[in-house]
């Protein structure tokens, strides 16, 4: 690569799952509400945010390395049940 980057025009964040950088718009913002990870697709919830690809593989990696409590400055573990449902609705639809 040469010349100036387009960082200013396209804000980047690091996915807490796979640790790859991606455009903020390609990642899902996660905030901690009480002891639960809540998806914030519109980016309107207050507080610290963590960014993850909207994919179960990245969520799994983030959970495995306890990235959410670290990124969100939470003292304890965070529940990701609802977040997983949001990312994998088809798994929940099975009777
Ligand atoms: Zn990712």
What residues does each domain of the chain span? 12-93
Q: What pLDDT score does 39 carry?
A: 95
Output the pLDDT for position 88.
83
Nearest to 23 by CA among 43, 51, 46: 51
Residue 50 burial (CB count, 10 A): 26
Q: How many residues does the chain have?
A: 95
6 CA distance to ligand 1 middle (Å): 21
The pLDDT of residue 35 is above 60: yes
CA of residue 49 to ligand 1 center, whole Å: 15
Q: What is the DSSP letter of 24?
A: G
Instruction: Give distance in angstroms: CA of 76 to centre of ligand 1.
Output: 23
38: CA distance to ligand 1 center in Å?
17
**Cα(54) to centroid(ligand 1), Å:** 8
Q: Which pTM does this prediction carry? A: 0.82
CATH of 12-93, one of 3.30.450.30, 3.40.50.80, 1.10.357.10, 3.30.1230.10: 3.30.1230.10
Please answer whether residues 16 and 71 qualify as being in contact, where contact means their C-beta atoms are separated by less than 8 angstroms.
yes
The end-to-end CA distance of the chain, in Å, is 50
Helices (H) and strands (E) in the chain, counts: 4, 5
User: What does the pLDDT read at residue 95?
Assistant: 63
């Amino acid at each position: 690569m040469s010349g100036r980057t387009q960082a200013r025009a396209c804000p980047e964040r690091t996915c807490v799952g796979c640790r790859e950088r991606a455009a903020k718009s390609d990642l899902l913002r996660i905030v901690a509400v009480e002891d639960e990870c809540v998806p914030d697709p519109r980016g309107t919830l207050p507080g610290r945010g963590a960014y993850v690809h909207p994919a179960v593989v990245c969520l799994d990696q983030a959970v495995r390395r306890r990235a959410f409590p670290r990124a969100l400055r939470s003292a304890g573990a965070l529940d990701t049940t609802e977040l997983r449902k949001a990312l994998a609705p088809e798994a929940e639809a099975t009777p």
